[in-house]
């Protein structure tokens, strides 16, 4: 989405209002080109409703997994 399209979608008329909504410095928002895709900043993604992919938790590897052997009883 471009900066111009985002401002239109939100009904904002200036970069100052967009910066306020995104809670970013005005200079940073003014630096974005009007028709280029917005940067993938967390503030922008949150406003667009995009959730960052959650990291998949990998269970810790058992260091003794290959050392455990069956015990034979007499």
pLDDT along the chain (74 residues), means of 10: 90 92 92 89 84 68 75 73
Give pTM, 2 decimals: 0.63
Could you say which DSSP state residue 20 is in?
H
Q: What is the pLDDT of residue 74?
A: 64
The residue assigned the tokens 């028709």 is: 35
The C-alpha angle with vertex 46 and arms to 34 and 30, in degrees rounded to 5, equals 25
Nearest to 7 by CA among 31, 46, 19, 25: 19
DSSP 25-71: -HHHHHTS-SSSBPP--HHHHHHHTPPPPPPPPPPPP-TTTTT--PP
Q: What is the pLDDT of residue 28?
A: 92
Domain boundaries, the chain: 3-48
């Amino acid at each position: 989405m471009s900066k111009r399209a985002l401002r239109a979608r939100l009904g904002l008329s200036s970069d100052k209002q967009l910066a306020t909504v995104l809670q970013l410095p005005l200079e940073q928002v003014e630096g974005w080109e009007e028709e280029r895709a917005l940067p993938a900043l967390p503030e922008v993604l949150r406003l667009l409703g995009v959730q960052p992919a959650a990291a998949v938790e990998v269970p810790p590897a058992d260091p003794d997994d290959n050392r455990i052997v069956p015990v034979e009883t007499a």
